[in-house]
Chain A
Amino acid sequence: MTHLLEIRNVSRRFGGVQAVGDVTAHVDEGELVGLIGPNGAGKTTLFNLISGFTPLSGGTVAFAGRTISGLKPNHVARLGISRTFQNLRVFPNMSVFDNVSVGAVGALPQGAFGALFGALHRRGRDRSAEISRRTWEALEAVGLTHVAAELAANLPYGQRKYLEIARALAMRPRFLILDEPAAGLNDTETRDLAAFIKRLHGQGLTIMLVEHDMTLVMGICQRILVLASGRKIADGTPDAIRTDAAVLEAYLGVDE
């Protein structure tokens, strides 16, 4: 059986530094997988390798049975992999509505011709309608419809996090990658976020979650991958990870 995402012997060097070395892993359709590891373990690099931001030094990445390593990020995105960023990248000088619409625009065929003559034919009007429908849907999913007209820069930090997720959801992805979504949130906000991610997963979305917050990852993920120094050291259920000797040594032992 083929996995939704298949990472085979993936590695990446930056000069003399081996950021990710020979990682093999997979994600199945409908899973909620966590990716943890100490600082500098290569988690974000692995995300960037999957989404096409960073070219691979070795190995292959396949999505839905198709090799995606070597493709440009926008191509990978249109195949159904959507992501958020660790350091919160919304489009500050655009309204909340316009921010989210970019996700929908990106997922659909785009071009100047359609924009110039779109209003003249039915298909163009349907596409505009589809974009606004997806945008409102995503805004409703994260509960930001009431601030749709606000500039993204004016939103408080917590809402900008949800804005980023809404923008990713407007793409109607098959696979959502969340890069440290709980960073900078307080306990209550993190709990709300956990419930929200669980709800998304419950609607059938496959999610991969990079996180520092151990309680969040342990609480909601079905399976956890652990990276340390660019290598995969463990892969299993939260209970198995909690007692894994290698993990305790590399991560929890130092942290606790």
Chain B
Amino acid sequence: MNASESVVPTDGLTRRRGLLVPALILLLVFAALPALLAGFDKGYFYQIANLALIFVLLSASMHLVTGVAGLLHLGHAAFYGVGAYTAALLTSKLGLGFTVTLPLSGLMAALVAFLVALPTMRLVSIYFAVATLAIGQMLYLVMLNWVDFTKGPNGIIVSKGFELFGFSLSGRLAAYYTVAAVVTLSVVAIGRLSHSYYGNALRSIREDDQCADAMGVSTVRLKMEAFTLSAFFAGVAGSLWAHMTGYISPGDFKFSESILILAMVVVGGLGSLPGAIIGALLLILLPEGLRALGDFRNIMVGLVMFLSILLLPKGLLGEVSALRLVRRQLGAAWRNTGKGEGIGWR
């Protein structure tokens, strides 16, 4: 570091630490974990790994709207469902493959979110929460009762696995890599939104939306964007789920799933992207790890959630520590060089 730069003396925030942690995470997700999975060679383990990754994406996308923008969203699973049904219907009715359904699922979920957001975005706090609850229930009931189109409670068989421009990726390991790649890219995109000046504007809306308004922040527009983008990523997760399991039904997207995703975000730490990821991993992997306990495991999971909120109300990795970690690791340190380079968020 150049000695002539004026460096703000803050607790360790001033030094760039390189990209060690992101590199380790990528190594784990794309090398160590697949090697382990291939070593065990059990289809069941692949399923769990994929499911955990899909819920990481759901939790990360909800983090954007609930953690960062502060909108209590109780219908997230419905947009996940819109994505999954879009993928399933495009596959079964039009014979389209994953390469096409993936973006379309995201776009369809985003479109639905945009349309329902138009009238609801001016609602605040608990009223917004109830509106999203109603939207989630309506979408769920459409999936359940529009039998001609969605096959209702019978669900839809998705005959095609993953593929990329016609190349089949339906082998166990290829499917894992597909899910991992899509989830990683999406989480990076969500990270760019929440760990940037854009994220600061969203946080200011959460903290005090009137005051944010007075600072020139277009509160309604930014809330719409956050809500729509979060639905886009939920839709992407839906497409992954549809092609991964090969069968979807409305039960996968009911209210309790929205609450599960909300619990992941809260247990991990509201406003913290690493926290949302940890929360998702915990609440998916813990019940699987406790399978030996039989029915008792759900009580254990509930107890873990209860205790974590009681002891760590700000989450396992709260927003403040998470932002410090991210700023340090991604090199967005707070150097005041006066030249406008490498300071603050990028």
Q: Which residues of A contact B (CB under 8 A)?
A: 51, 53, 72-74, 77-78, 82-83, 85, 89, 91-95, 97-99, 101-107, 110-112, 114-116, 118-119, 125, 128-133, 135-136, 145-146, 148-149, 151, 167-168, 171
Instruction: Pull 10 A–B residue pairs with CB atoms less than 8 Å apart, ordered by A.
Output: A93-B319, A102-B212, A105-B200, A105-B201, A115-B198, A129-B341, A130-B340, A136-B343, A148-B8, A148-B334
A106 touches B217 (CB 8 A): yes
| Residues in A whose Cβ lies below 8 Å from that of B203 | 91, 93-94, 98
Q: Is the interface of B mostly helix, strand, loop or mixed?
A: helix
| Residues in B whose Cβ lies below 8 Å from that of A73 | 210, 213-214
| Residues in A whose Cβ lies below 8 Å from that of B11 | 149
With A and B bound together, what is the CA distance between A103 and B196 in angstroms?
14
B200 touches A107 (CB 8 A): no
| Residues in A whose Cβ lies below 8 Å from that of B204 | 91, 94, 99, 102
B39 contacts partner chain A, Cβ-Cβ < 8 Å: no
A107 touches B198 (CB 8 A): no
B200 touches A149 (CB 8 A): no
B336 touches A145 (CB 8 A): yes
| Residues in A whose Cβ lies below 8 Å from that of B221 | 111
With A and B bound together, what is the CA distance between A173 and B215 in angstroms?
10
Nearest to B229 among chain A residues (CB) is A112
| Residues in A whose Cβ lies below 8 Å from that of B291 | none
Task: Known A-B contacts: A93-B320, A106-B201. Give 18 more (CB < 8 A).
Answer: A74-B216, A78-B216, A93-B207, A93-B271, A101-B344, A101-B345, A102-B201, A102-B215, A103-B216, A110-B201, A112-B198, A115-B196, A119-B346, A129-B340, A129-B343, A131-B197, A146-B9, A149-B11
CB distance from A107 to the nearest CB of B (A): 5
B344 touches A135 (CB 8 A): yes
B218 contacts partner chain A, Cβ-Cβ < 8 Å: yes
Number of A-B contacts (CB under 8 A): 144
Nearest to B218 among chain A residues (CB) is A74
Q: Is the interface of A mostly helix, strand, loop or mixed?
A: helix
B148 contacts partner chain A, Cβ-Cβ < 8 Å: no
A102 touches B344 (CB 8 A): no
Nearest to A92 among chain B residues (CB) is B207
Nearest to A115 among chain B residues (CB) is B198
Binary interface encoding of chain B residues 125-148 relative to chain A, with 1 for a CB under 8 A from any of its CBs, else 0: 000000000000000000000000
Q: Which of A128, A132, A136 has the most CB of B within 10 A?
A: A132
With A and B bound together, what is the CA distance between A125 and B345 in angstroms?
10
B229 touches A106 (CB 8 A): no
| Residues in B whose Cβ lies below 8 Å from that of A101 | 197, 200, 344-345
| Residues in A whose Cβ lies below 8 Å from that of B10 | 148-149
Q: Which of B211, B216, B346 has the most CB of A within 10 A?
A: B216
| Residues in B whose Cβ lies below 8 Å from that of A146 | 8-9
| Residues in B whose Cβ lies below 8 Å from that of A149 | 8, 10-11, 13, 334
Interface residues of B in 303-346 (CB under 8 A from A): 319-320, 323, 334, 336, 338, 340-341, 343-346
